[in-house]
Amino acid sequence: MDPIHQFQIKNLLTFGHIGGHEIAFTNSALFMLIALAVIAALTIGATASRALVPGRMQSVAEMSYEFVADTLRSTAGSEGMKFFPLVFSLFMFILAVNVIGIIPYTFTVTSHIIITVSLALLVFLTVIVYGFYKHGLHFFKLFVPSGIPIYILPLVTFIEVLSFLSRPVSHSVRLFANMLAGHITLKVFGGFVVMLGGLGFLGSLGAILPLGMTVALTALELLVAFLQAYVFAILTCIYLNDAIHPGH
Amino acid sequence: MADKDRADDARKKGGRDQPSAEEAALSARLRDLGERLGRHHPDRPSDSGPRSTADPSAIARGFRLSVELVAGVLVGAAIGWLLDRWLGTSPLGMIVFLLLGFAAGVLNVMRAAGVIQPNRLDPPNKRQ
């Protein structure tokens, strides 16, 4: 009945201790591996036949490729396609993990902020490293907007830097908070059904309302799972675009 | 007397007709302008029908904007707090950076909402 209980990390297998920290295979790691297996089955297994006229699974794999490639091309240009492996991996991983998390008795990996922060920092550091590699110190011009009077330029530059630094925060918190809030809401309404169902006939009648709500919320969660993976991917594309393009 | 009334009526009618012709010309010009603008922004949908308030993507959009604002403020507060700890300037760093962080948050929201152009490395005149 505890709505937070579903987010608990459990050690399934302890490998040993490094520096006083337990190194263990947790349920979170297990569901990451399951997500990887699902993605691998889709992208490697379903396209193994290489049919000219794709079958059902092969066309799902092809559609997911086209979808991410179109998103990347439209936001970061064809030059951004060198980052396609990164964006595709992020999108497929988050999508698989989110969708698996909706199934009852599973664990939602992205409901832990440490996971989303790592993914967001990966993108953030990629942008910084590639930006300096490609443009050198010219990359700092990202923080200096043109056409600003000189006397407020330091202030504006400072605000731009803060805005840049806040990117990984909003990038990660959005995914984390959406998954956490959605799953807690789902659990709370599920708890209402059980509580009302224990109150006899009238309670069972009343339990129909939260049950309907749970059904509707599950559909909404499926949408949110896809939408958040898409939002994460498209923001990655937008941020990468800053690093890639001197001219648009 | 009756003739004069009729003449007045005719003038009024004419007076009414004239603006309607002008209006037709004006609306034609507006349509033309709208078409030209549509060509400039082909990505914008031409119809702006009312959107349902229960639109889930609108909820996602709203959530995205609020997170952008909060992220700016949080980053500003964190930097201010760290500076205060290192330099012992409490509470000046917190005050200044909280305000700057708020400004950065508003900038984030305006970028995310598409009110202002996203920042690019090049000045706008270099673009095609």
Please state the ipTM of this predicted complex.
0.74
Give A105-119 pLDDT, tens digit per residue: 899 999 999 999 999
pLDDT at B105 over 60: yes
pLDDT digits (tens, 9 = 90+) for B4-21: 555 555 454 444 455 677
How many domains does chain A fold into? 1
Please indicate whether, in this complex, the C-beta atoms of B71 and A162 are within 8 angstroms of each other.
no
Give the model's pLDDT for residue B47: 45
Beta bridge partners of A190: none
Chain-chain contact of A247 with B122 (C-beta, under 8 angstroms):
yes
List the single residue in A162, A170, A227 with the smallest CB-CB distance to B68. A170
User: Measuring CA to CA, which residue among B74, B77, B108, B122 is closest to residue A235?
Assistant: B108
Residue A1: the pLDDT is 63
Per CB-CB distance under 8 Å, the chain B contacts of A169 are: 71, 74-75
Q: Which residue has the higher pLDDT, A1 or B29?
A: B29
- Chain A residues within an 8 Å CB radius of B119: 142, 145, 160, 242
Q: What is the mean pLDDT of residues A74-82?
A: 88
- The larger pLDDT score, comparing residue B122 to residue A202, is at A202
Q: What is the b/e burial string over A125-154, where b = at least 16 CB atoms within 10 angstroms of the residue's CB? A: ebbeebbeeebeeebebbbebeeeeeeeee
- For residue A130, give the H/E element and its range: helix A113-135
Q: pLDDT tens digit string along A132-172?
A: 998 888 888 888 877 788 888 889 888 989 999 999 999 99
Rounded CA gap, A43 and A65, in Å? 9
Residue A175: predicted pLDDT: 92
Q: Which amino acid is at A2?
A: D
What residue numbers bound the domain in which A172 lies?
5-244
- Whole-number pLDDT of residue B39: 66
| Residues contacting A115, CB < 8 A, separation 6+ | A28, A109, A176
Query: Taking residues A233-245, what's their average pLDDT?
Result: 88
Predicted TM-score of the model (pTM): 0.77
